Amino acid sequence: MPDKSFKFLHAANLYLSHQLVGTGYLNDDAQKVVQQATNAAFQNLVEEAIAWEVDFVLLAGNSFDETDESLGARVELLAGLSLLHAANIPTFILPGQADPYDVWHRMAGLPNSVTIINPQSSDLFAIESGEGSKEKLIAHIGTVRSFQSQPSRNSFQIAMTATDEIDEQLKQQSLSGAVNYLAMGGNVRQTVESSTGTLHAPGGTQGIIATDIGERGCSLVEVNLLTDTNQKPSIEIEFLPVATVRWESPIVQTSRFANKEMLSKQMSQALEDVQPQPHEKLWLLQWTLDNSGTLSSLLQEEKKDQSLTGLLRHILSVPKEIQIHSTYQLRPDENSINQLTQQSPLAESFFQKIDERKEALPEQLQQLMASAGLQENNRTKELVSLIKNLNPDKIRGHAQQLGLDWFSSIASSKSLEEE
């Protein structure tokens, strides 16, 4: 194995021009950021690749969603790949479930520095660095199948897969010594090390739904090939954030009688480990407030004046360039509910029905969509995706809070009448 160092950028799940789901109502500026989020993440990725002067780029699955039928995704993809081509950075792309190989195979206008790897093929591709007489072989790349069917070569071996699911068979196949680096796809960032190689998934470049929490980006992989072929190559992986929109789902155990200042302090503590990243323009914070008690009126005020968000921004020192959009799910304490159910048979029936229907609701909505006979388009696909990702516990909590407000108001009115 030659004594040489090189670096590459590894990304997955670009989902170009795909729209984020479940953002809720946003102002115009935030909506523009959301609409461009996946494309902006790819633009940032390309800029990072050029700035770091990487030797090549790997895109592991789902660069776009073919069912979106998006011309914008093609335009954005070709623009980014052309910039990499102009910087003499080759790109190796493994299609995934959302962007099948036959679609890539028919795509016109791809730069000649782009290699599309057939997931079903055993072909191996050489990766070379340098130009002219200084050009040197640094790696071979293919699928896991490629290295099963062909003998090991005197170079760094990279296998690609579009999944982030690591089973024992994949471990054995990939880390048997034939593969030095398994470039994985999928949405979950993870790394598995062994004595012979490294499995790594960078996770999606941009969170699409509310469960895609945390910083999102790609990976810069630096490899040091050692002269002694019996030694494992040195592989260092660095996270590069490229997402413009960040999802977080913090949970706060509130005081029943908390005021705005107390609540903002508790909320900031829930986010104390969240650090702003260079490319971020919008934080979508989906709060869950436990034991919320009488906080609903306070949060109604927040919708009008955004003073709680202002306090939060100040405490966390969030740059003004990053917009903050918060939604709140109130989960009332069980003691308050129990008191109401003991006082009112109607309240008891209400909360009992909520518990009974909690798990069935998403399935009922899917059945309703199917029976409606709606024409399949991007909008209906988004609705189906949204229904699949519904959180029954959040729905239950919201319904409980509404019930608590209603029945508490009724109980207060009766007390006043009695007085």
Which tens digit of pLDDT belongs to each residue from 251-271? 887 766 667 788 888 888 888
pLDDT single digits (tens) 368-381: 777 776 666 555 66
pLDDT single digits (tens) 63-86: 999 888 888 999 999 999 999 999
CA distance 300 to 321: 26
Q: Does a structural domain hold residue 65?
A: yes
Residues 219 and 82 in one domain: yes
Q: pLDDT tier at 3 (50, 70, 90 boundaries)? A: very low
Residues 47 and 148 in one domain: yes
Residues 214 and 119 in one domain: yes
Q: Does a structural domain hold residue 269?
A: yes
pLDDT single digits (tens) 51-63: 999 999 999 999 9
Q: Does a structural domain hold residue 121?
A: yes
Report DSSP letters for 237-292, one per residue: EEEEE--SEEEE--EEE--TT--HHHHHHHHHHHTTT----TT--EEEEEEEEET-
Higher pLDDT: 161 or 226? It is 161
Neighbour-count burial of 375, counting CB atoms closer than 10 A to its CB (0-12 exposed, 13-18 middle, 19+ buried):
exposed
Strand partners, 227: none
Last residue of a domain, one of 241, 270, 291: 241
Q: pLDDT at position 314, please?
A: 83
Structural domain including 23 reads 5-241
Instruction: Name the token pair of 165.
Output: 């699911």
Q: Does a structural domain hold residue 183?
A: yes
pLDDT single digits (tens) 307-317: 778 888 888 88
Last residue of a domain, one of 264, 296, 331: 331
Residue 161 in contact with residue 238, Cβ under 8 Å? Answer: no
Residues 289 and 213 in one domain: no
Q: For 281-290, what is the mean pLDDT?
A: 88
pLDDT single digits (tens) 92-103: 999 998 889 999
- For the ranges 194-203, 214-223, 347-356, the lowest mean pLDDT is seen at 347-356
Residues 142 and 171 in one domain: yes
Number of domains the chain is built from: 3
Residue 26: helix, strand or coil by DSSP?
A: coil
Residues 237 and 375 in one domain: no
Pairing of the two strands 198-202 and 56-60: unpaired
- Sorted by sequence, the CB contacts under 8 Å of residue 196 that are 6+ apart come out as 175, 176, 177, 179, 180, 232
Q: pLDDT at position 416, please?
A: 39
Whether pTM > 0.95 for this model: the answer is: no
- Mean pLDDT in the chain? 81
Q: Does a structural domain hold residue 404?
A: yes
CA distance 316 to 268: 6
Q: For 116-129, what is the mean pLDDT?
A: 86
Residues 260 and 169 in one domain: no
Q: Does a structural domain hold residue 258?
A: yes
Domain harbouring 206, CATH code: 3.60.21.10
Q: pLDDT at position 418, please?
A: 46
Residues 220 and 285 in one domain: no
Residues 218 and 77 in one domain: yes
Residues 290 and 218 in one domain: no
Q: For 24-48, what is the mean pLDDT?
A: 94
Q: Does a structural domain hold residue 139?
A: yes
Residues 109 and 234 in one domain: yes
Residues 274 and 222 in one domain: no
Last residue of a domain, one of 215, 241, 267: 241
Q: Does a structural domain hold residue 336?
A: no
